[in-house]
Structure 1
Amino acid sequence: MSNQVNAFKPSFTNLEFAVKAFRQLDQLCAERQAWQDNEYKNSTTRLYNLLSAVYCVYESKFVNVQDDDRRTLRQQLVSKLNEDGINVRKSSDTLGLLIRYVFKADRRRLMSYKYAILAAKSNGVSSADLAKWLSAAGGVDEVSRKVSYSQETLDRRDEVLKATNSVEQLIAQRSDVPLGTVNLPISAAGARVVMLAEPCGNGDFKILYVFENPSDGVHKSLIRKAATTSAAVQIDVNAAKKEVTSFINFTRLNKLADMAVA
């Protein structure tokens, strides 16, 4: 049953080669750190300040003005963007138009910036505090990612997270009380293994291959797969409950409407 493969043992020359390679990599790491602490940090701060200024313009030149001023600003924005070769619809929201005008950004970047400002607004963050808030919240992409998720997506993630915790707890419990044991003549004694098996039809399984010492990534992906499968059942249950609740509420509203007419 063994699929033992001779373990690779690097020679002294191999190790020397690796040492030289890591010297170069460590130097690159140091340069990256210096860039992250200086140029990148400064450019990120500047970006946040620009977004803060756009947020301020949006409030002062659109939100808190008269209707005619709003209409004029929108018309001029659409006209100037089209003159610059940037095609926008007249129905586009003004915040997006302002961001497009200032940053000349592509649609994906535009949406990230817009969601970041909208997230700040929904959290009671003023334009003056936007830069500080974005830094504390993990940046534009992190904030916009949370805003753009639907409630259904967030609910699914919660269920998968709960199922993942349950699977991990179950694995820990079965370490003492396993489903079964099998003796395998493999080289990595004491290491974790993953077995590929197929059913025999009578409840038994044929072990076809043994993956020795799988990486943490493989282990986590298997746990996530188990959790996703487990969570799918609860997700379906939740969806059914939501549908029933919506139907009940809809029925109640109809009854109230009928009573009002009567």
Structure 2
Amino acid sequence: MRITANQKQEIANATLVKLDALANRRQVWQRDFYDKSNKALYALLSDCLGMYYEIKGSSAEKVVLEGIKANLEGRGIKVQTSTPVLTLIVKYVFNAERRRASAYSRALRVAAKESISVGNFAEWVIKVGGIEEVASTKGITDETIKKRSQLDNKVAEVKQLLVNQLQHPLSLVPKTALAHPADSAEYTLLIGKMLASGQTQVLSVVPGSTTAMIEQAIRKIAQELLNKVDEHIKAQAELAAQAAITEAANQAYFKEMA
């Protein structure tokens, strides 16, 4: 069903109202939560993704984008004819400096390419390793899927190892006034300094350890374990290759002697 020019303009106006509401939420986040919690940021970005799904391919897309561009230009923000839709949305909502806006836009483009739903966006970003990690990828591949599956499996193993380790902790840190049990997630984080001997001096509890922070730390442990496995496999492969070369050389030598 075709819609009239007036109807398209009404849709465009309604879309800008939604984007303005998102921009207002961004201001609150930037004022109260910036550098404190990724939860609010991921919620904003997931809603930006939702706006993209709403705009892209709609019958009023052209009029909506014209309205967004006019608003941005009115703010002194440069846009080009070829500027991607998601970049326009990010610029509108975040009014951010170029590098940060670019990272958000790239991350959202990867999410859209992988058909990540609005509701699953935050969890997906955390699993991948954060906005910068998502932004640095070019989209999903079979190898990416395989590695993510391996990492997810290893994360589950690490979580079970942590549960088992509760019976035999590496150390017990004295009670501190910096943190209280109610301030942290299931686990908490510590900060320390590694000595030349390989031992670590535990210096302080990190107060207010969030679930996202803990999840990221666990994934770091899991990734390092996977790296160690890869290093072992590579070393074994190199030894096998060297053994094969030596065997071939020996066979050639004895053949000449014969």
**TM class by shorter-chain length?**
0.3 to 0.5
TM-score normalised over the length of structure 2: 0.41
**TM-score normalised by the chain length of structure 1:** 0.40
Relative contact order: is structure 1 or structure 2 higher (C-alpha 8 Å, sep ≥ 6)? 1
- Greater C-alpha radius of gyration: 1
